[in-house]
Every structure is written in C-alpha cells, then in structure tokens.
Amino acid sequence: MIAKAKSFFEDVQAELAKVTWPTRKETFSTAQVVVVIIVLISLYLGACDVVLTKLIRSILR
C-alpha cells in the first residue's frame, strides 16, 4: 500500500514537471480579460433586471 502511494506521488511530481506554467504577464493579462467580461455581463444582467422589474410593475398596476 505504501509503495503504491509512493509511486503515485512520484508520478504526480513527474507530470507536474511537464506542465508549462504561464508567465506572470500572461496570467495578469488573462485575469484582466476575465474581470472585464465579468463587469460587462454584470452590467447587462443589471440592466435586464431593471427593465424587467419596471415592466412587471407596470403590468401589475
């Protein structure tokens, strides 16, 4: 059992050595894109919420 666990962690370490990690610049630029998209989607959903709320209130009056 211990031999299997040791082998597993050796395999994990070997696979992690193969990973190509992004540079700091790539990570920062990708994070900026994600934040901008989140803001845009939030604004769109907020506008939809306001419009639908006003529409429903006008129908119910």
Q: How far is CA 51 from the centre of its chain?
A: 28
Q: Report helix, strand or coil for 19.
A: coil
Q: What is the DSSP letter of 23?
A: P
State yes or no: pLDDT of 7 exceeds 90: yes
pLDDT average, residue stretch 5-25: 95
Banded model confidence at residue 41, pLDDT cuts 50, 70, 90: very high
Cβ contacts of residue 22 below 8 Å, gap of 6+? 30
**What is the average per-residue pLDDT within 31-37?**
99
**pTM of full prediction above 0.85:** no
Residue type, position 18, single letter? K
Query: Residue 50: pLDDT band by 50, 70, 90 thresholds?
Result: very high
Say which residues have a Cβ less than 8 Å from residue 30's Cβ, sequence separation at least 6: 22
Q: How far, in Å, CA of 28 to CA of 24, rounded?
A: 6
